[in-house]
Amino acid sequence: MHTFKIVATIVLAILLQALLSNLDFFRGYADLPLIVTVYYGLQRSPMLAMFCGLALGLGGDSISGGVLGVGGFAKTLIGYMVASVSVRFSLENPLARLATVAIASAANTLLFVALYQMLDQPLSHADSWQELGRTTGWKVVADTVAAVPIFIVLDRVFSEQTAARRMAIKKRFYE
């Protein structure tokens, strides 16, 4: 049942990103696959976060029409980094989770732009440092705002894992 929930969440995130891309908020800024990748990274399992990031990134690449694999690589790396940090530090506090989303959003944007630059692919939002900074800032805000309801829903969907994870964190860090 747990695996089915994970696969359903991945498919739903990709489909919602495709459907909502017509709205201005989601067209260029909010990245649902990234938010779901960060959520799985916060589950303290690097392998789960990496595989989910890979699936979500490749799915996002396929619907966006960009270079296939760039988003997959970026989200795999983001998932691994978030999971690695969440193993070492307690990130259960809602503010810590939102800060993690913000940092992951900025890192994802910069990594994405760097990979496109390495592949000599044009990007409209990376023509100047000022434009890159503005785009990164708006992506951080959009991803952080969108993460609030998404994390609430995912915490309810994965309630048994959330409770077990919180007990393990409490035992490790507070006892």
Amino acid (one-letter) located at 39:
Y
Q: Give the angle subtended at the CA of 103 by the CAs of 101 and 106, to the nearest 5°.
A: 105
Q: pTM (2 decimals)? A: 0.89
Cα 15 to Cα 76: distance, rounded to the nearest angstrom: 19
Domain residue spans of the chain: 2-174
138-152 per-position pLDDT tens digit: 999 999 999 999 999
Which CATH architecture group holds 2-174? Answer: Orthogonal Bundle (1.10)
98-112 per-position pLDDT tens digit: 999 999 999 999 999
58-86 per-position pLDDT tens digit: 999 998 878 889 999 999 999 999 999 99
Residue 5 makes CB contacts below 8 A (sequence gap 6+) with 157, 158
- Name the H helices within the chain: 2-20, 24-27, 32-41, 46-64, 70-88, 94-118, 129-157, 159-174
127-137 per-position pLDDT tens digit: 788 888 998 99
Q: Is 126 helix (H, G, I), strand (E, B) or coil?
A: helix
